[in-house]
Amino acid sequence: MLERAAELKELLSGNEAIARGIYEAGVKVAVGYPGTPSTEILENVEKYKEDVYCEWSPNEKVAFEVAAGASLTGARAIVTMKHVGLNVAADPLMTLTYVGAVGGFVAIVADDPGMHSSQNEQDTRQYARFAKIPILEPADSEEARDFLVAGLELSEKFKTPVILRTTTRISHSRTLVQLRERVEHEPQGFKKDPPRFVPIPAWARPMRVRVEERLKAMAPEVCASPMNRIEWAGKELGIIACGVAYQYVKEVFPEASVLKLGWAYPFPDELIRQFAAGVSRLLVVEELDDFVEEHVKSLGIACDGKNFIPNIGELSPMLLRRIRARMEGKELPQTLPVEEASQLPPRPPVLCPSCPHRAVFAALGKFDVVVTGDIGCYSLGVAAPLNRMDTILCMGAGISMAHGMKVAGEKRRVVGMVGDSTFFHSGITGLLDIGYNKSAPVIIILDNRVTAMTGHQENPGSGLTLMGETTWQASIEDFARACGIKRVFAVDPLKYDAFIELLKESFDTPEPTVIISRSPCIVHDHSGLQTVRQVDPDLCRTCKVCLKIGCPALEFTDGHVRINSLMCGGCSLCEQICPFDAISPISEP
């Protein structure tokens, strides 16, 4: 039995295992910006704050640069983000690849194939090729820890930044991990060396050459690395598999030989040739792009891949079973949800009961406006019955796109909407543009002083750091005024009539307005909880106006509106909008 081995191991998610690796590898500085599925890495590093400095930075670009600065002092440093975060951090990435690392530098980037909680799906491996740096892809939690450590060592050996790429299924699956002790890596301190650290053109040109030389120097290592291995079995079919796809391949094609690529770029050409020569038929199984497949073909090796494996969405063992059947010319009976499932009511995520954002959307519903939205809990305002968000692009765009619509001459009123964390992340520069270039949208900043969507992480407005220290609270009012906005209001949207009045007045003003909607996230800050509301059946005329605000605590069953007392937080929005005064606080016993 495996009893003894299991006793010595812990069941950790990929993110917990990476946090453990950060601790064990003697990392000194660990920073990032929250983003599903990467968030729990730094949340778990916080446990080791005696040994590892950790912080939530305002955005991924800043975080990347913080980690880069730390690395140049010789400290081991990591930065975490989700895949779209790397777009924000692409600028420092593309030049740190020239400057290189001193202390081990690993950017941990979590992709989200299938878009469980993302606005797009992109394959971070393309960034590794773009930046000409190594990328490592673990297939379970233990590898996530091991590859993080290996990545730091590679980074130091080849003076290169390294990307550790996870996917949702690696980040959020829990598998057994053997824990180890921390090994310290004391930084030497920054050593002045301008030709190495200053990419002015005269020095950037030799750096550019070194980037290519570095790739060549890694070639033998990538073939010999234990992260890449051949598991010989039957010679009929050979499968090259990366990341979690390896696990699905082992499950569905137990008889096939497998080349498991954990260090996919730079490509291990010799290993690929050796593997291809040993099998009759070659198949590449990888999530998202045909990253490896394209290269295999460029080596002149015939293989199957995206002709069978979709490049959209995530893979699963079930999907591979069907693909296997198709490759073998068979039909696998579809296992579909039962017929009755199609009749079930959808259960989409919704704004929580007593979420103050609901009042903002309800109020906006009274006006003919275009709302350029952004990324956070309030993205849920797009759904029925609120239906009050019209665009989403990326973090910060809620503000800049409102400006764009105004300068394009959009006739309707335009409202730009972002959250507090999103404002600090990348909304400030958009607001500066509005002040500078003089357009007049209404900007609503939903300020609950916490990064709620990803699970209540601290941000510059929270007054707390990731390490639990109190700190200054960033003032959105001060930022807005510094951006040249004169009409700045901070109001509680749950004073509903006054909020509607303020909106009306702002729409009639020919200058830009910033409305800070200030009310705590009720799930995070219970101080906002009020007396539970109830419906008086004698006064209720079942007009259903209250149901239009989409509060989960309001139920309509058997012809009556009821308030679920276990869910209601007493925000009173339903009470304020009820035309018949049928809703009131429950009388205290």
Partner 1 sequence: MNDCVSVFLTGVGGQGILLASEILSNAAMLAGFDVKTNEIHGMAQRGGTVTAQVRYGQKVYSPLICEGDARVLCAFEMAEAVRAAHYLAPSGLAVVNQYRIIPVTVSSGSSTYPQDIKETLRKRFPRLCYFDATARAAEAGTERAANVVLLGATSVGLDLPEETWLEAIRKSVKPKFIEVNLKAFAAGRAAAQS
Residues of the shown chain interacting with partner 1 in the complex, contacts defined by CB under 8 A = 1-3, 6, 9, 11, 36-37, 116-117, 140, 169, 172-176, 244, 247-248, 250-252, 254, 316-318, 321, 335-338, 340-341, 343-352, 377, 380, 384-385, 453-455, 523, 544, 547-548, 550-552, 554-557
Nearest by Cα to 517 from 569, 477, 548, 485: 477
For the record, the structure tokens of 406 come out as 């105004």
Pairing verdict, β 234-242 and 281-285: parallel
Closest CB to partner 1 among 5 and 539? 5
Compute the least distance from the CB of residue 372 to partner 1, in Å: 23
Beta strands in 386-441 (DSSP E): 413-419
Closest CB to partner 1 among 227 and 377? 377
As a whole number of angstroms, the distance between CA 222 and CA 227 comes to 8
Closest CB to partner 1 among 76 and 357? 357
Closest CB to partner 1 among 205 and 544? 544
Nearest by Cα to 101 from 141, 58, 172, 158: 158
Q: Map residue 444 onto helix, strand or coil.
A: strand
Compute the least distance from the CB of residue 384 to partner 1, in Å: 6
Q: Are 61 and 91 in contact (CB under 8 A)?
A: yes
Compute the least distance from the CB of residue 468 to partner 1, in Å: 21
Q: Are 264 and 135 in contact (CB under 8 A)?
A: yes
What does each C-alpha distance from 262 to 24, 144, 234, 266 come to in angstroms? 20, 10, 21, 11
Q: Are 55 and 31 in contact (CB under 8 A)?
A: yes
Closest CB to partner 1 among 199 and 552? 552
Q: Are 479 and 488 in contact (CB under 8 A)?
A: no
Compute the least distance from the CB of residue 344 to partner 1, in Å: 5
**Count of all residues that appear for the chain in the document:** 589
Compute the least distance from the CB of residue 561 to partner 1, in Å: 8
Compute the least distance from the CB of residue 245 to partner 1, in Å: 10
Compute the least distance from the CB of residue 435 to partner 1, in Å: 34
Closest CB to partner 1 among 353 and 512? 353
Angle at 79 between CA 75 and CA 85, to 5 degrees: 155
Nearest by Cα to 327 from 283, 292, 279: 283
Q: What is the DSSP letter of 516?
A: E
Burial class (CB in 10 A: 0-12, 13-18, 19+), 429: exposed
Compute the least distance from the CB of residue 558 to partner 1, in Å: 11
Compute the least distance from the CB of residue 89 to partner 1, in Å: 22
Instruction: Return phi, psi of residue 491, to 5°.
Output: -135, 160
Compute the least distance from the CB of residue 552 to partner 1, in Å: 5
As a whole number of angstroms, the distance between CA 479 and CA 485 comes to 9
For the record, the structure tokens of 485 come out as 């906005």
Residues pairing with 230 in the sheet: 259
Closest CB to partner 1 among 138 and 441? 138
Amino acid at 54: C
Compute the least distance from the CB of residue 447 to partner 1, in Å: 19
Closest CB to partner 1 among 117 and 530? 117
Q: Are 227 and 262 in contact (CB under 8 A)?
A: yes
Nearest by Cα to 76 from 104, 48, 45: 104
Closest CB to partner 1 among 487 and 548? 548
Closest CB to partner 1 among 177 and 483? 177
Pairing verdict, β 162-167 and 369-372: unpaired
Please state, as a whole number, how many other Cβ atoms lie within 10 Å of the Cβ of residue 114.
18
Q: Are 513 and 484 in contact (CB under 8 A)?
A: no
Closest CB to partner 1 among 233 and 547? 547
Compute the least distance from the CB of residue 291 to partner 1, in Å: 22
Nearest by Cα to 78 from 45, 115, 122, 30: 30
Closest CB to partner 1 among 342 and 470? 342
Closest CB to partner 1 among 11 and 277? 11
Compute the least distance from the CB of residue 522 to partner 1, in Å: 10
Please state, as a whole number, how many other Cβ atoms lie within 10 Å of the Cβ of residue 398.
34
Q: Are 257 and 300 in contact (CB under 8 A)?
A: no
Closest CB to partner 1 among 400 and 451? 451
Burial 286-320 (b: 16+ CB within 10 A, else e): bbbbbbbbebbeeeebebbbeeebebeebbeeeeb
Compute the least distance from the CB of residue 521 to partner 1, in Å: 10
Contacts of 564 (CB under 8 A, 6+ apart): 353, 552, 553, 554, 555
Compute the least distance from the CB of residue 501 to partner 1, in Å: 27
Pure H helices in 80-135 = 83-88, 90-99, 125-131
Closest CB to partner 1 among 366 and 544? 544
